[in-house]
Chains A and B, each alone.
Chain A
Amino acid sequence: MATSLTAAQLESIAQNPYKQDFPLLRDNPSLAFLDSAATAQRPNIVLDAQRRFYETMNANPLRGLYRLSVDATQAIANARAHIARFIGARDHNGEPQGDAVVFTRNASEALNLLAHTLPQVVELGPGDNVVISIMEHHSNLIPWQQVCAATGANLVYLRLDDDFSITQKEIEAKIGPATKIVSVTHVSNVLGVQNDIAAIAARAHAMGALCIVDGAQSVPHVHVDVRELGCDFLAFSAHKLGGPLGIGVLWGKPDLLDAMPPFLTGGEMIDSVTETGAVWSPAPQKFEAGTQDAAGSFATDACLGYLECLGMDAIEQRERLLATYLCERLQEKDYVTIVGSGDPNRHIGAVSFDVTGIHPHDVASILDMSGVCIRAGHHCAQPLLTYLGWHSTCRASVAFYNDKDDIDRLADGLDQVWGIFNGSR
């Protein structure tokens, strides 16, 4: 078995001090969970926080004047500030921009919020362009299709070169004076490649357009700093980080959030209401109609604390070794084709692949027999797969709580799949 990893690196991914923090993984040692790009497993600290919220501070936040409600309100405010720190969103004085952090149900809702409110701000209309990339998840694609259909704007795609990169030339060709909104994923959920957001944002701003980043696949795996990216908005979901299901995050530049109309309306997002009108609360409340999942926000806060305790640099380093080992174990099989870059360093978390002549759903079903969990299908990125000439693929994705054994079990499982279909079992 050929690998570029050193003995010390192999030893480090063979060790797994993290699994014990994750009850589902700890209690199911026969499971090789390689689908963290879909959702991460959750550490004890997150599950405990969720429970602690309900046991010690359960009340409807924002509304009550009594201690419990104040505690719940404070828990949400703390979570916002923590998230702002985590993504480098600070004001001129270096204070975290907690009020620029809007809670949604998921990254999709955060992107829908933008798609419903920004067109009014930028006065999007016929002749204007909205630019996305061909590698978008449907959640950053369909909302813009809808916006363009409703406003008469054109949807323009940044396409990939043969090396799965969006080149500077492509950026300059597609983002021009007619562009009003650019919305691009930071890391592809199919290919695992990372886009040069700083270059895309710089071009967008030079052309007078806004730049939105879908960070669903990057925030869990790499250090993300919105000032370094230079973007105007960042959307991601807590559940891919190891936080609870049902919490999404939208960070936006405060002046833009102020200029945007509300998305959903109702309780908890107004300052005053008359029979004929209402005055909106300032951001972020303006965008958070109805009772929020305060327990989820509190647990998200705890999740970030856990990740910071491990260190995003350490997480990134371990995941790079795991992704490299994963790519190399796949590449050693002549019946496996990696769909995406052959360079392991280009894969953040996810590696898509094809097993020659065997449908990805059959591959996933047979791997499931040995407790190996992978994703199979179009990965909510059908236009990308069509562009690349595939109908569906297999996808294995790693997080820091995976180890060498998980990947070895995938490799062995694939031999079994091949054997079943080719008569050598």
Chain B
Amino acid sequence: MEVASLYNEQFMDHVTHPDYKYELEDATHEHDGINPSCGDELHLAVRLGDDGRIEETAYTGHGCAVSMASADMMSDLMVGKTPEEAIALCSLFKDMVTGAEKDMDKLEEELDEAALLKDVSHMPARVKCAELAWRTLAEMLKDGSI
């Protein structure tokens, strides 16, 4: 019953009351991500501070609950991270949802609330939904596009 535990109250709270779903006025980096299978469309914006750390992440767009909740949880996690740390977390998240990383202590320690999405590893059809925001952020930070 992985699905039952996935769509729990904490998860649904990110869907119905997202904290980071808005236009970021003073973004330093922006990037679009799409997931053709669901039709999810995400516009991700980040403001890097003078110290090179992420000050704020926000997103707009539409899609399924998994992609949107994932984007909200990610945005929360990324505050204060360097681009290198952020890219490493995106990689760890991918490992979690594809089932490559199963160490729950490590996942909860590093991914915090986003570890709630671990059950997606049992739902192959939804991996792309969960990954969308993380893949978009990693692409943005890796190629440094503004």
Binding site for B on A (CB under 8 A): 358-362, 365-366, 368-369, 377-378, 391-392, 420-421, 423
Task: Check B64 for interface membership: any CB of A closer than 8 A.
Answer: yes
Q: Can you list 29 A-B contacts with CB-CB less than 8 angstroms, sorted by A residue number?
A: A359-B38, A359-B63, A361-B38, A361-B64, A361-B125, A361-B126, A362-B7, A362-B66, A365-B6, A365-B7, A365-B125, A365-B126, A366-B3, A366-B7, A368-B3, A369-B1, A369-B3, A369-B4, A377-B37, A377-B39, A378-B39, A392-B38, A420-B12, A421-B12, A421-B15, A421-B16, A421-B65, A423-B12, A423-B16
Task: Check B129 for interface membership: any CB of A closer than 8 A.
Answer: yes
Whole-angstrom distance from the CB of B111 to the nearest CB of chain A? 21
Residues B4-28 near A (CB distance < 8 A): 4, 6-7, 12, 15-16
Whole-angstrom distance from the CB of B97 to the nearest CB of chain A? 14
A-B CB contacts (within 8 Å), total count: 44
> In the bound complex, how far is the Cα of B129 from the Cα of A362, in angstroms?
10
By a CB distance below 8 angstroms, the chain B residues around A421 are 12, 15-16, 65
Task: Check B100 for interface membership: any CB of A closer than 8 A.
Answer: no
Residues B37-80 near A (CB distance < 8 A): 37-39, 63-66
By a CB distance below 8 angstroms, the chain B residues around A362 are 7, 64-66
Binding site for A on B (CB under 8 A): 1, 3-4, 6-7, 12, 15-16, 37-39, 63-66, 123, 125-126, 129
Interface SS of chain A? helix
By a CB distance below 8 angstroms, the chain A residues around B4 are 369
Whole-angstrom distance from the CB of A390 to the nearest CB of chain B? 9
By a CB distance below 8 angstroms, the chain B residues around A423 are 12, 16
Whole-angstrom distance from the CB of A291 to the nearest CB of chain B? 33
By a CB distance below 8 angstroms, the chain A residues around B16 are 421, 423
> In the bound complex, how far is the Cα of B66 from the Cα of A361, in angstroms?
9
Whole-angstrom distance from the CB of B14 to the nearest CB of chain A? 12
By a CB distance below 8 angstroms, the chain A residues around B37 are 377
By a CB distance below 8 angstroms, the chain B residues around A392 are 38-39
Whole-angstrom distance from the CB of A381 to the nearest CB of chain B? 13
By a CB distance below 8 angstroms, the chain A residues around B63 are 359
Whole-angstrom distance from the CB of B37 to the nearest CB of chain A? 7
Whole-angstrom distance from the CB of B31 to the nearest CB of chain A? 21
> In the bound complex, how far is the Cα of B123 from the Cα of A378, in angstroms?
19
Whole-angstrom distance from the CB of A371 to the nearest CB of chain B? 11
> In the bound complex, how far is the Cα of B39 from the Cα of A81, in angstroms?
44
Whole-angstrom distance from the CB of B30 to the nearest CB of chain A? 23
B65's contact among A358, A368, A378, by CB below 8 Å, is which?
A: A358
B38's contact among A358, A366, A377, by CB below 8 Å, is which?
A: A377
Question: When A and B form their complex, which 4 residue pairs have the shortest distance between CB atoms, in order from nearest?
Answer: A359-B64, A369-B3, A391-B39, A361-B64
B3 nearest CB neighbor, chain A only:
A369
Whole-angstrom distance from the CB of B137 to the nearest CB of chain A? 21
> In the bound complex, how far is the Cα of B126 from the Cα of A369, in angstroms?
14
- For A361, A366, A421, the residue with the greatest tally of chain B CB atoms inside 10 Å of its CB is A361
Whole-angstrom distance from the CB of A193 to the nearest CB of chain B? 23
Whole-angstrom distance from the CB of A391 to the nearest CB of chain B? 4
